[in-house]
Amino acid sequence: MKFSLRHRLILVHLLMLLIVTIAGGLITSYQLEAYYEERLFQQLQTQLDEIEYLLANSTLARENVEAVYALLIGYTHAARARLTLIDAQGAVVFESEVPHDSLRFVENHLSRPEVQQALREGIGGDQRLSATVRRRLFYAAKTVSPRHENKGLLNGVAFVRLGLPLEEVERVLRDLRWKIFGGGGLALILIALVSYWVSSKLTAPILKLARVAESVKKGDMEAHFEPESQDEIGELSELLNDMLAKLRDDVKQMRKLQTMRSQFLGNVSHELSTPIFAVQGYLETLLDDKVKDEKLQKSFIEKAYRQTKRLNNLLTDLIDISRIETGDMKMSIRYFELQEWLTKQITELQVTAQQSGIALTLLPSNAPVNVLGDRERLAQAITNLVENAIKYNVPNGRVEVGYKDFVEEVEIYVNDTGRGIPEEHLGRIFERFYRVDRERSRAVGGTGLGLAIVKHIVEAHDSHVHVRSQISNGSTFSFRLKKMSESHLAEIRSQIMA
């Protein structure tokens, strides 16, 4: 059987109260019983002293046995007590509950616990069922003090004993126990009602949270946790709302990634199939021996070679972008001199520019500057930007590479005189396989991944690629790198001088 939190709270409260009530009742009853016994014993002590004094100073003649007996019986009945006078050998010389002529049948009382304690301490007490009168009595006995020995009616008496019936005490204690447990039972009912109310107030918002969570579990991503209080449950509601908002973003991102993945797989399949089918067609034609012309055979082989080169470039770019996105491509971030590095990159790209009839120029800089980055990965990025500027340029166009020095950063830019990019395409040109002019891109050998690789490399340097473009006025791609601070530069100079 499943117990709800509310039922568990109520049950715990009731069990705790029940334990406290029973324990408190037992302890209180025990303490009260001990208290009443102590008070009773003190009362009997006082009465024993009074009886001893009265008996020692009695003017009643000892020989008038009947009158003495009647007097003592009257006193004990008035006191609602039982009086016993015992001699030194333990023989009973008076018993208020036994007729005078039956005293000889009463057993010796010297071994009674209260008498033995009186022998040791002067006074003693005990409670038990009386063998003589068959009632539970509380006994107190004392030895006759030396100043009263053999005086008055105490002549020959060594012990005076009083016994009080315990029925009255037990009745009082019994009534008290019932009141304690009755009050505990009433408190139990009241606490149960209060616990039910408190647990309901506590569990109600939790149940609401559970219902909202169940809705989320079933796919309702628009659900909302309502914080109804300023306590821990309210904080939990706000935390769950934050988690739910993050989950919504994660779900949107996951769906976006799934869409991108599907598109990516479709694009990859399409991009790979085109050169593969082309190469296959050229090779099949050559293998069928249908082409006898050597020039035509060479043309087919050259075309197949270009397709395999394109396929190789595509696979290389796919591997690079996969390594970047998965984090497998590690960056080696170091300071390097920018002008020298750009000169090397532009020199290596001059052949490509000349073959395309494009003038590639590195604009001079006033002063050398050191920047922070991965030389190899940034070389890949600048190469992609320059090659794109060459491929999509106009005949006899220009490509200019340079940088601008700012206070803490350096902006590297690649400017071309190409046809420009329509504004509606600017927001998507860094997506994988996105092409502004698909047919021209394939014609010049583009893989559709160059700008995506540039974007990832630049972002790995905590920067962003910016593009400005106008139709018929060319395009400018730029990104910034952090440059070496003056303090760092001064430290390096001092090390060199040393």
Q: Is 14 exposed, middle or buried (0-12, 13-18, 19+ CB in 10 A)?
A: middle
Which two three-digit tokens encode residue 5?
């939190």
- DSSP-derived pairing of the beta strands 466-470 and 92-95: unpaired
pLDDT of residue 416: 94
Beta carbons of 96 and 77 less than 8 angstroms apart: yes
What does the angle CA 368 – CA 371 – CA 374 come to, to the nearest 5 degrees? 130
pLDDT confidence bin for 28, thresholds 50/70/90: confident
CB 73 within 8 A of CB 96: yes
What is the enclosing helix (H) or strand (E) of 402?
strand 398-405
DSSP 8-state symbol, 10: H
Q: DSSP class of residue 291?
A: -
Q: What separation in angstroms does the CA of 252 have from each of 93, 97, 472? A: 108, 100, 38
**In degrees rounded to 5, what are phi and psi of residue 261?**
-65, -45
In terms of pLDDT, which residue wins out, 53 or 444?
53
Residue whose structure tokens are 């170091």: 334
Residue 480 has what pLDDT?
Answer: 95
Confidence of residue 170 (pLDDT cuts 50, 70, 90): confident
pLDDT at 261 (0 to 100): 66
Q: Where residue 344 falls among pLDDT bands split at 50, 70, 90?
A: very high
Amino acid making up residue 362: L
Q: Range with the lowest mean pLDDT among 189-193, 214-218, 395-399, 405-409? A: 214-218
Per-residue pLDDT at 437: 63
Q: Which of 177, 185, 41, 230 is nearest to 118 (CA)?
A: 41
Task: Quickly count helices (H) and strands (E) in the chain.
Answer: 11, 12
Per-residue confidence at 489, pLDDT binned at 50, 70, 90?
A: low
Closest CA to 80 of 153, 160, 163, 169: 163
**Cα 159 to Cα 149: distance, rounded to the nearest angstrom:** 10
DSSP state of 4: P
pTM of the complete model: 0.48
Q: Residue 245's pLDDT is what?
A: 73
* pLDDT of res. 487: 58
Residue 60 pLDDT: 65
Q: What is the DSSP letter of 144?
A: P
| Distance of alpha carbon 92 from alpha carbon 100, whole angstroms | 10
> With bands split at pLDDT 50, 70 and 90, how would you rate the model's confidence at 366?
confident
pLDDT of 301 > 90? The answer is no
Mean pLDDT to the nearest integer, 259-273: 64
How far is 259 from 444, CA to CA, in rounded Å? 28
- Per CATH, which fold does 232-323 belong to? Helix Hairpins (1.10.287)
Q: Report residue 167 CA to chain centroid gap.
A: 61
Q: How far apart are CA 486 and CA 352, in angstroms?
A: 38
Q: Indicate if the pLDDT at residue 208 is higher than 60.
A: yes
pLDDT digits (tens, 9 = 90+) for 225-245: 666 666 667 777 777 777 777
Q: Measure CA 69 to chain center.
A: 86
Q: Exposed, middle or buried: residue 143 (CB in 10 Å: 0-12, 13-18, 19+)? A: buried
In angstroms, the CA 80 to CA 201 distance is 59
Q: How far apart are CA 258 and CA 261, in angstroms?
A: 5
Q: What is the pLDDT of residue 433?
A: 73
pLDDT single digits (tens) 98-149: 888 888 888 899 999 999 999 999 999 888 877 666 778 888 999 999 998 8
**What digits encode the pLDDT tens for the residues 437-455?**
655 555 555 667 788 888 9
CATH 3.30.565.10 fits 331-497, yes or no: yes
The tokens for 466 are 């910016």
DSSP letter (8 states) at residue 126: E
Ranges 226-235, 304-313, 458-467, most confident: 458-467
* pLDDT score for 117: 93
User: What mean pLDDT is reported for the chain?
Assistant: 80
Q: Tell me, what's the pLDDT at 491?
A: 59
Q: What is the C-alpha separation between 108 and 398, in angstroms, rounded?
A: 140
Phi, psi of 76 (to 5 degrees): -65, -35
Domains of the chain, by residue range, sit at 5-173, 232-323, 331-497
pLDDT exceeds cutoff 60 at 492:
no
How far apart, in whole angstroms, are the C-alpha atoms of residue 216 and residue 333?
Answer: 44
**Three-point CA angle 353, 359, 361, nearest 5°:** 100
For 79-120, the DSSP string reads TT-EEEEE-TTS-EEEETTS-GGGGGGSPP-TTSHHHHHHHH
> How confident is the model at residue 68, as a pLDDT?
77
Q: How far is CA 348 from CA 313, 345, 362, 380, 470, in A?
A: 18, 5, 12, 12, 28
63 Cβ neighbours under 8 A, 6+ residues apart: none
- pLDDT average, residue stretch 398-409: 92
- The pLDDT value given to residue 142: 93
Of residues 442 and 18, more confidently modeled = 18
Predicted local distance difference test score (pLDDT) of residue 353: 93
For the segment(s) 5-173, the CATH number from 1.20.120.1630, 3.40.190.10, 3.30.450.20, 3.40.50.80 is: 3.30.450.20
Q: How far apart are CA 74 and CA 131, in angstroms?
A: 23
